């Protein structure tokens, strides 16, 4: 499989936790110029046949209907299996949903983060719960039934009861996929600046672990099965094909400011300066050694609940991670990891310390 990532960096407002390439556009002309640059850059990769396209941001749904038609029209030559666009409820309209459907979008990733409207305000999110439900209903009416929701836990002052309330509200939406991440304090965010001034306190890590355990136990009751550390699906058909490219070290092209791609041999990235990108969309290439790709294969592959096949690792890299990283054997002995049917993977216990274990490969 091969994918294409497209970055739309514009937002109507900046969320306090977001570290992605983004900005509030100074005017509509800036957006138009950016989209024109995207179209020109697409000529660099358009000879590929893409199985997936993912339009992320930023907030792609903030574009006007005319701008969305221009953007989605760029990719009319592609017949993808999965075509995803990210949507924020406050900037969505039914007209935009019909445009998505018209141009072949068959999956929407909806940024909800939490159903607690007071906490949403603290995150500088501008939607309300009614807009979430209206958006999902409208998308289904437009014929887009593969809807994924993004939620965040370990939010400021959040409790396990609040997490349960979020999941019970999610259940009412009747959606097919969930991405559920813990809040990470990223540099260059409002929360980080507040933290440096002792005005923001991250949630206690033990409470965060309890929340994650509750999530893992509760989501199966709602019909969701975990297939990656932070991703849950109701069926095989609704797993994210595009994200699976990242987790399996498959190639994907990328266009847009701040976008990162991987051609199968080397990684590359674009400037995060949006004005600079509009005038010069050249890429910067980061050469990858065989060992670097081996490391990435282990780091991303082990995020999948199925883990990685040791036979496949040997075929692809002629290596054995249990030999190259002997500390893994201690993790297996302590029941943080296991080898089952030749697959190396985390146990449920190991999922709670997965980031620390994955650090062994860096």
Per the structure, the count of domains in the chain is 2
In a domain, 343, yes or no: yes
Residues 213-217 have a mean pLDDT of 98
Asked, as a colleague might, if the bond just before 290 is cis with ω within 30 of 0, I would say no
What pTM was estimated for this model as a whole? Answer: 0.96
Residue 142 has pLDDT above 90, yes or no: yes
Q: Has residue 155 been placed in a domain?
A: yes
222-257 pLDDT tens trace:
999 999 999 999 999 999 999 999 999 999 999 999
Predicted confidence at residue 70, as pLDDT, reads 98
Domain-ending residue, one of 191, 220, 246: 246
99, part of any domain: yes
83 and 217 part of one domain:
yes
pLDDT higher than 90, residue 362? no
> Residue 321 sits in a domain of what CATH number?
1.10.10.920
Mark whether 236 and 302 lie in a shared domain: no
In the chain, which ranges are continuous DSSP H helix?
28-42, 65-73, 94-102, 117-122, 129-142, 160-173, 190-196, 205-218, 241-247, 274-279, 290-301, 310-317, 321-324, 327-333, 348-351, 354-358
In a domain? residue 90? yes
CA distance 19 to 27: 22
**Residue 251 placed within a domain:** no
Q: What is the pLDDT of residue 155?
A: 94
Q: What is the mean pLDDT of residues 91-119?
A: 98
pLDDT for 319 equals 97
Together in a domain, 337 and 203: no
Does 121 map to a domain? yes
Residue 340's domain comprises: 290-362
């Amino acid at each position: 499989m091969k994918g294409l990532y497209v970055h739309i960096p514009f937002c109507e407002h900046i969320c306090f936790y977001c570290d992605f390439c983004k900005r509030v556009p100074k005017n509509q002309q800036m957006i138009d110029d950016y989209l024109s640059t995207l179209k020109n850059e697409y000529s660099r990769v358009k000879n590929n046949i893409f199985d997936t396209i993912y339009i992320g941001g930023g907030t792609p749904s903030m574009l006007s209907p005319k701008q969305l038609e221009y953007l989605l029209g760029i990719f009319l030559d592609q017949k993808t299996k999965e075509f995803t666009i990210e949507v924020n409820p406050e900037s969505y309209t039914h007209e935009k949903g019909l445009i998505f459907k018209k141009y072949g979008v068959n999956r929407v990733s909806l940024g909800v983060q939490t159903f607690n409207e007071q906490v949403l305000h603290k995150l500088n999110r501008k939607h309300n719960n009614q807009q979430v439900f209206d958006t999902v209903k409208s998308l289904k009416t437009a014929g887009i039934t593969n809807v994924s929701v993004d939620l965040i836990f370990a939010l400021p002052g959040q409790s396990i009861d609040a997490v349960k309330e979020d999941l019970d509200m999610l259940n009412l939406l009747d959606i097919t996929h969930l991405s559920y991440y813990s809040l990470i304090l990223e540099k260059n965010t409002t929360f980080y600046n507040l933290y440096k001034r002792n005005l923001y306190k991250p949630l206690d890590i033990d409470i965060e672990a309890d929340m994650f355990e509750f999530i893992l136990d509760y989501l199966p009751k709602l019909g969701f099965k975990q297939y990656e550390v932070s991703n849950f699906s109701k069926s095989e058909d609704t797993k994210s094909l595009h994200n699976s490219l990242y987790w399996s070290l498959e190639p994907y092209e990328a266009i847009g400011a701040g976008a990162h791609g991987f051609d199968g041999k080397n990684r590359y990235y674009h400037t995060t300066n949006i004005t600079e990108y509009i005038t010069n969309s050249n890429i910067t290439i980061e050469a990858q050694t065989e060992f670097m790709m081996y490391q990435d294969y282990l780091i991303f592959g082990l995020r999948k609940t199925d883990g990685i096949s040791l036979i496949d690792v040997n075929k692809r890299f002629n290596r054995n991670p249990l030999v190259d990283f002997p500390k893994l054997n201690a993790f297996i002995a302590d029941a943080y990891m296991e080898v089952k049917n030749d697959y190396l993977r985390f146990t449920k216990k190991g999922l709670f310390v997965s980031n620390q274990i994955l650090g062994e490969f860096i």
